[in-house]
Structure 1
Amino acid sequence: MGSKVLKLYYMMHQRRNPQNKTREFWGNFGDELSPLVVTYITGCDVRWARVRDADLMAIGSILDSLALTKVAHFWTRYRWRKTPLAIWGTGVMRETFDYPANNLNVLALRGPMSAARLHLKETNVYGDPGLFASELVPHSPKIYQLGIVPHISERTYEVTKQFCAAFPKALIIDVRKHPIDVLKDISSCDMILSSSLHGLVVADSYSIPNAWVRFSDKVLGSGFKFQDYAAGIGRPHMIAHRPEDIPKEPHALENFLKAPYQAIDVAGSNRALAQKLKNWM
């Protein structure tokens, strides 16, 4: 008898291949962590589904899909679904999002700011399921002094390469790689600079000192998702650093990152998240 099929919505982009005219689907490692984590916890046969057909939403700033997608809005808001769409560790991208959680089964959210945008006064469990990274892939041997995780929209920016010139043992991590390989790359670094939220979440999972850096203005949103994540794990306001503010000398960078870094209770957060999902199953 096969595993139970669980239909999961997560962000998948599509583009047309100009050579063979076929459609290609791709995500980045934060999006593609979602099915890996859900499979790890539930043991289900997890399959991608459209919002209107899905059982569950998990990793990603994808709650906006409920308002941006007319079909999704129709199916969820007006109760054409037989069972409510379950929300687990998901978050909102923009502070302008406004969607009362009618006919949604909210198991957990990324943070309290997302809860407010859903008109929820209280949610018992907050946290990003990307924190399960260190359970999916054990800690790798440390190879690099510094890992740089540019958002997928910034992967070609020259400014990220400046850090490689300053740090001989630096690695620019390509978020288009298989998510397991990205986790291995991040865990092999002593420190992480990232413009990708999940670069920071995964670094936290491995207790690696990290900082949010704005390499450009191309990343969508005003930083809402970063502050939401920080609030969800009990951290104060998260600072968005500009590249020019980051020390380019190894010892200075170590002091810059490690002195203020607050490790979080990853095991406790993950236990609470996992229990919510298992109870729903």
Structure 2
Amino acid sequence: MSTPLKLFWYAREANFGDALSGIVTAFASGRDVVHADPKSAEVFAVGSILQIVRRTHPEGRAGGDRPWVWGSGTLKPIRLDFVPHVRFAALRGPITESLLGVDVNGVYGDPGLLVADALGDRPEREDRVGLVPHLAHVDGPEVAALLKADPRLKLIDVRQDAATVCREIGACAHVLSSSLHGLVVADAYGVPNTWLDPAGIHKSPRLKFYDYAAGIGRALPRPLSFADVPEHLPRLPETAPSYADGIAAAKAGLLDAFPAELRRERAA
């Protein structure tokens, strides 16, 4: 029987995007996963967590053990002293790759793209538009005003259980999101989606969106402001994303690149 795989994900706040990491890493590895301290984790996956990897790996671990990075990203340029002390199987996108000065042979993608396959069931599509605000926006007045103004909008709260959030996104006709993983999960389910302005969520809020989009070949126009949503609601597209081939390629690449040594142990 396989021992649980030690995975780090950011768990200080209830946020489904971070919690996706356990679901998709268990799927890719065929093993149970447990949350681990970054200094003892075997793998890092979903999220802009390379700053944490850097802070915890300025030097190599005792015994020379090097953890894996599989699909993680960064929010900004960071010091590179940690790079020799970890191994890179895949990165979220080419911007992260360039900032790190490493080469992952074109294996890009947020592992959250695998969540629809990991959960298995496909929700029945409903005639509603999902509003997925980032954690920093969810309780804000702009969100409250939008929900009051249009009954077709459904709030999808990122503080819920990750599987619940994913299934709610998968049931939408369209998704509006200032959360990166709102877009990622919509892409995973083939739900058309629109990027909402992420202003205020980080110091460099747009980098991770462009990084992800570049990794799957998605053109990403300027984000829509919350104030402009009512004007755009009547003409939101409800057809499958035009970059579906890029999504499929990223998913296949992520699965192929998952470290063999971390996959389920086979009986002799």
Alignment TM-score, normalising by the size of structure 2: 0.88
Structure-2 residue corresponding to 1:271: 252
CA pair 36-261 structure 1, distance change in 2 beyond 3 A: closer
Give, in whole Å, the separation in 2 of the partners of 1:32 and 1:162. Answer: 28
Give, in whole Å, the separation in 1 of the partners of 2:185 and 2:75. Answer: 19
Task: Give the match's secondary structure for 1:52.
Answer: coil
CA pair 248-267 structure 1, distance change in 2 beyond 3 A: same
State the Cα RMSD in Å: 2.2
Q: Give the total of aligned pairs.
A: 259
Structure-2 residue corresponding to 1:129: 111
Give, in whole Å, the separation in 2 of the partners of 1:211 and 1:78. Answer: 41
CA pair 65-81 structure 1, distance change in 2 beyond 3 A: farther
Give, in whole Å, the separation in 1 of the partners of 2:198 and 2:25. Answer: 31
Regions of 4+ moved over 6 Å: none
Letter in 1 for 2:98: A
Structure of higher RCO (CA pairs closer than 8 Å, 6+ residues apart)? 2
**Is the CA contact (8 Å cut-off) linking 2:89 and 2:104 kept in structure 1?**
no
1:189 aligns with 2:176: no
Q: CA deviation at 1:30?
A: 0.7
1:251 aligns with 2:234: yes
1:61 aligns with 2:48: yes
CA pair 80-221 structure 1, distance change in 2 beyond 3 A: farther
Give, in whole Å, the separation in 1 of the partners of 2:233 and 2:99. Answer: 41
Structure-2 residue corresponding to 1:108: 90
Unaligned runs of 5+ in 1: 14-25
Give, in whole Å, the separation in 2 of the partners of 1:81 and 1:129. Answer: 29
Q: CA deviation at 1:272?
A: 1.6
Give, in whole Å, the separation in 1 of the partners of 2:65 and 2:145. Answer: 51
CA pair 49-215 structure 1, distance change in 2 beyond 3 A: closer
Structure having the higher strand fraction is: 1
Give, in whole Å, the separation in 2 of the partners of 1:272 and 1:59. Answer: 15
Q: Among all aligned residue pairs of Structure 1 and Structure 2, give the percentage whose two residues are the same amino acid.
A: 32
Alignment TM-score, normalising by the size of structure 1: 0.84
1:92 aligns with 2:74: yes
CA pair 160-81 structure 1, distance change in 2 beyond 3 A: farther
Q: CA deviation at 1:220?
A: 4.7
Structure-1 residue corresponding to 2:146: 163
